[in-house]
Structure 1
Amino acid sequence: MNIRTSISLFLLYLLTVQILPHLSAFAANTNAASFQSHVDQLRLWAGEVGIHIVSLETGHTVFELNSQATFIPASLVKLFTSYAALKSLGPESRFNTSIFALQGPVQGTVRGHLWIKGEGDIFFLLEDASKLATQLKQLGVTTVEGSIFVDNSYFEPASLRVCLDEDCSEAYNPVISGTSLGFNSLEFHVTPGIRPRTPLHVSWTPSGDYVQIRNKGNTGPRRSVPSVSIRSIGPTREGRESFILEGRLALTAQSGIDRRFTVEDPASFFCRSFRAVLRDAGIEVQGTGAGERKVPPHVTVLTSHQSLPLKDLLHGLNRHSNNFMAETLLCTMGAKVFGIPGNMQKGLEVIRQFLKELDIPDDEVQLDNGSGLSRRSRASPRAFSRILQKAYGDPLFGQPLIDSLAVNGQMGTLCRRMSDSPFVIRGKTGTLSNVLGFAGIVSMPGNAAYAVTVILNHVQHLPNAREATDAFL
């Protein structure tokens, strides 16, 4: 062995045995100190903190804190619902909404009623209803002698409102049904009158006679402070919903204000809104009936609407954390896997079986709905990291889930967060009044990617807790 070889072997020994272990220990200590510093900041604003970080390249856990303990996860639950739906229904799955009649039109007239039945479409909007009306017009329909009814038997119960803390009145409390229109919600637009002391002007979308409103609002002077309120006082005997508009809006507030409500009676809401859509398309509906009624046997399908593929619909569900879409998808999944009618229990069983396939212990996930709008649902940070880890290596079913997530500084619930970060952060956020969560994938182009889950419970100040979470990410 010559001198040069001996020196090389000695240097290699120093590097591998003496230097690298110390460097690794130094890096580990530095990372640990950095993590601990951020954890201390999170604990300033939250009574309970759970964290799990796993390398998506190696599968090794990088950092964890209470990772197997269960927390209230809020909207992070939508990750479970979405991935289970992709696996059980397929990314290309679509949902139908059909119009039935006793027979086809005769000389432009449909004799008898129209029935509309959906199969749990999570994204049937007003423009889709307009497309159905156009299709009827193209069939030559000009008159419907009967009324319009909705068949909501695809779910059981036919409609269900999801509440939080015994409060069901907020716009984020969805009313789900097998046949729905625009998330079963309507939006009021209020503008000032032509001069002070004149009534406010109010309109709503979709139009139709579902709304019965008592307008007690008035137009105030130019500098008056807006004090507009709209509240529902419940359904009427005729199947409409009564609202009261009160307060004042300045004459100069020409842009007006908007208020969104979930409706009490989704079947009547759909029927009365669709009658207005048909009218705009040049089709007269002579009957005045509206509401829920099952499609009778031996009917004819006049036309149908098919939704976008599930993989595309999930963008709205996860990026914007849409509770209606999540809860409807949960029941639709239950119907398609375990049979009609779908319900929450069937959908939750689909999720339970899916999580079992991923070796996620039952005691780390307990759910009571599909959106996370609950304080009874519990899940561990490790369970969410496991979902993300599986999705990352699953191009067929997992990639659509990842594609549906919000992106820092770009889109969804992260569009105004961490915009100056050098990392690409795709994730699902969750928020309740004292809960804050994040589960997603953090990466830098050309470098390693990590599944990161942070859940905070007993949060004392949401803005500060969110800022500390962003700093941690």
Structure 2
Amino acid sequence: MKKIVLYWLLSVCLPALYAQEALPETASLSSRLDTLVKYRLPQGSNVAISVYDLTAGKTLYDYQADKLSRPASTMKLLTTITALSRPEADEPFRTEVWYKGVIERDTLKGDIYVVGGFDPEFDDEALDSLAGKVARLPFSVIRGRVYGDVSMKDSLYWGSGWLWDDTPSSFQPYLSPLMLDKGVVTVTAFPGVRGDTARLECTPASSYYTLVNATKTRTPSAGRFRVSRNWLENGNEITVSGNVDGRRTGTVNIYGSQDFFMRTFVERLQARGIRCLPDYAFGEFRKDSLSVRVAVHETPVQAVIDQIMKESDNLNAEAMLCRLGAQATGGRHVSAEDGLAAVRQLIKKLGYAPARYKLADGCGLSNYNYISPELLVAFLKFAYSRTDVFRKLYKALPVGGVDGTLKYRMGKGTPSYRKVHAKTGSFTAVNCLAGYLTADNGHYIAFAIMNQNVLSGREARSFQDAVCDMLVR
């Protein structure tokens, strides 16, 4: 028995001891990283790595750098860098309200159009602002219709390869040029008397969805707090259930983003005394001599990019992709494929063959995406070479141990603390990290680490952090 225990201890401990022994300070970076891959890579998984010294202008390390891997949310780097490289990159996202017709006394003899520009940050406050501006016009009756113009994009509301059972999660939006609060309802529950239902508040408030309160206050047997809807039926009946022993918050996406926007907009007009038909419609706005723009809401590009990078926001990335397609084609009607075509053009410009990769969406939700670490680093190198692009991107990237999706990684006391600015990417069996870091010698380094076939995200993140620590040192 003692021999068996001794054998087990040696089999577990010797590789770790060997790894430490094999990493003397005088060893080359490549040999140290090779040893890290050999002994720290999660069992049964694989990895591909590319590291480039931007200051010295040379490759520091490659390990299967051309290996095709699923990028998860590091796909957002390709979308954002391509969009930022365009001449129109600083144009804000716009949502406009126009009327067509004439005003006689207190009546608009004509129609109202809300023209969507795929603004992913358009929220409840912005909707109130647009409705308020319309209410200040010299009419209180709309004799025509209230239209939503969602013609900017085709009717495909999901990206290629998105998982059907991810809905009703708030991270999987229903795409539309008209989005309200990202097409998501936030439900907040407040406890009441023990055993009674909790008090619920929903934002944005709208009659587009219905609410079922199945909660219990301070009743553990009621189970965990949960917010969902009848998503298998494409319904918008939100059910809130479970124990509420303190303030609880949950989110759920809403089916039919453009309808959610328009129903709520019409209700806000009516609440301000505007008499109009409740049954809005959809139609393409075409400017003529009777057209007047009465309101506009703009969101700066940097605000959209900050959300893409810091919070890994999928809707923002897809909105950026669609706008990229509109800018690249110059057309009024675009699809996600138009944006992906622009990304492929930049891939070709950087000296790579677009046909070697598979691009399915702009945010990385799709399992169909396949790119490589060397391609990610090529995009990071390109961004670094363009000061206008790099400033916006670098500002938005999560900082190790500080904010965004890296807030709880690379903490104080580690070499990477505050020195890594990078985009994370993860879903089942995939965990990636790509971005920039500042080495102790002052050099800027671009890197991409793509872990595949690893079910433990914790182990993959630990490996990536160890690679970054080594690169910083």
* TMscore range, shorter length: 0.7 to 0.9
Distance 2:188 2:135 in 1: 30
Is the counterpart of residue 427 in structure 1 residue 419 in structure 2?
A: no
**By how many angstroms is 1:80 displaced?**
0.6
SS, match of residue 417 in structure 1? coil
Return the match for 2:459 from 459, 464, 469. Answer: 464
Query: Residue in 2 aligned with 1:191?
Result: 190
Q: Cα deviations across residues 94-137 of structure 1 (Å, max 9, x unaligned)?
A: 22211122335544543454221112223222222222223223
- What one-letter code is carried by the residue in structure 2 that aligns with 1:286? C
Contact 2:216–2:222 (8 Å) recurs in 1: no
Is the counterpart of residue 300 in structure 1 residue 291 in structure 2?
A: yes
Contiguous gaps of at least 5 residues in structure 2: 1-23, 469-473
Distance 1:141 1:227 in 2: 50
Q: Cα deviations across residues 339-392 of structure 1 (Å, max 9, x unaligned)?
A: 121101111101100111111232553211111111111111011111111211
Change (3 A) 1:291 1:445: farther
**By how many angstroms is 1:180 displaced?**
1.8
Change (3 A) 1:389 1:218: closer
Distance 1:381 1:243 in 2: 43
**By how many angstroms is 1:61 displaced?**
0.9
Q: Cα deviations across residues 204-238 of structure 1 (Å, max 9, x unaligned)?
A: 211111112333x14244555643333322599xx
Query: Residue in 2 aligned with 1:441?
Result: 436
- What one-letter code is carried by the residue in structure 2 that aligns with 1:440? G
Return the match for 2:224 from 227, 230, 234. Answer: 227
- What one-letter code is carried by the residue in structure 1 that aligns with 2:151? S
Query: Residue in 2 aligned with 1:357?
Result: 349
Query: Residue in 2 aligned with 1:243?
Result: 237
**By how many angstroms is 1:149 displaced?**
2.9
Distance 2:357 2:461 in 1: 24
Query: Residue in 2 aligned with 1:452?
Result: 447
Query: Residue in 2 aligned with 1:315?
Result: 306
Query: Residue in 2 aligned with 1:96?
Result: 94
SS, match of residue 374 in structure 2? helix
Is the counterpart of residue 127 in structure 1 residue 122 in structure 2?
A: no
- More moved, 227-236 vs 287-296: 227-236
Distance 1:403 1:176 in 2: 27
Matches of residues 253-268 of structure 1 in structure 2 within 5 Å? Answer: 253-255=245-247, 257-268=248-259
Q: Cα deviations across residues 57-116 of structure 1 (Å, max 9, x unaligned)?
A: 122111110001110011111111001111235331122211122335544543454221
Distance 2:260 2:103 in 1: 25
Structure 1 vs Structure 2 CA RMSD:
2.7
- What one-letter code is carried by the residue in structure 2 that aligns with 1:372? G
SS, match of residue 407 in structure 1? coil
- More moved, 336-345 vs 71-80: 336-345
Distance 1:166 1:41 in 2: 38
Contact 1:91–1:309 (8 Å) recurs in 2: no
Contiguous gaps of at least 5 residues in structure 1: 1-25
**By how many angstroms is 1:143 displaced?**
4.4
Distance 1:46 1:78 in 2: 27
Query: Residue in 2 aligned with 1:403?
Result: 395
How many residue pairs align between the two structures?
439
SS, match of residue 375 in structure 2? helix
Distance 2:39 2:125 in 1: 47
Change (3 A) 1:249 1:89: farther
Change (3 A) 1:291 1:406: farther
Distance 1:28 1:106 in 2: 85
Query: Residue in 2 aligned with 1:54?
Result: 52
Contact 2:92–2:298 (8 Å) recurs in 1: yes
**By how many angstroms is 1:28 displaced?**
7.0
Give the TM-score taking structure 2 as reference length. 0.85
Change (3 A) 1:41 1:297: same
Distance 1:446 1:90 in 2: 37
Change (3 A) 1:208 1:145: farther
Give the TM-score taking structure 1 as reference length. 0.85
Matches of residues 23-422 of structure 1 in structure 2 within 5 Å? Answer: 29-45=27-43, 47-103=45-101, 105-145=103-143, 148-157=146-155, 159-160=157-158, 164-169=162-167, 170-192=169-191, 194-215=192-213, 217-221=214-218, 224=221, 226-233=223-230, 241-245=235-239, 247-250=241-244, 253-255=245-247, 257-279=248-270, 282-295=272-285, 298=288, 300-338=291-329, 339-420=331-412, 421-422=414-415
Contact 1:70–1:365 (8 Å) recurs in 2: yes
**By how many angstroms is 1:32 displaced?**
3.1
Change (3 A) 1:111 1:258: farther
Contact 1:392–1:402 (8 Å) recurs in 2: no
Change (3 A) 1:178 1:241: same
Distance 1:241 1:222 in 2: 29
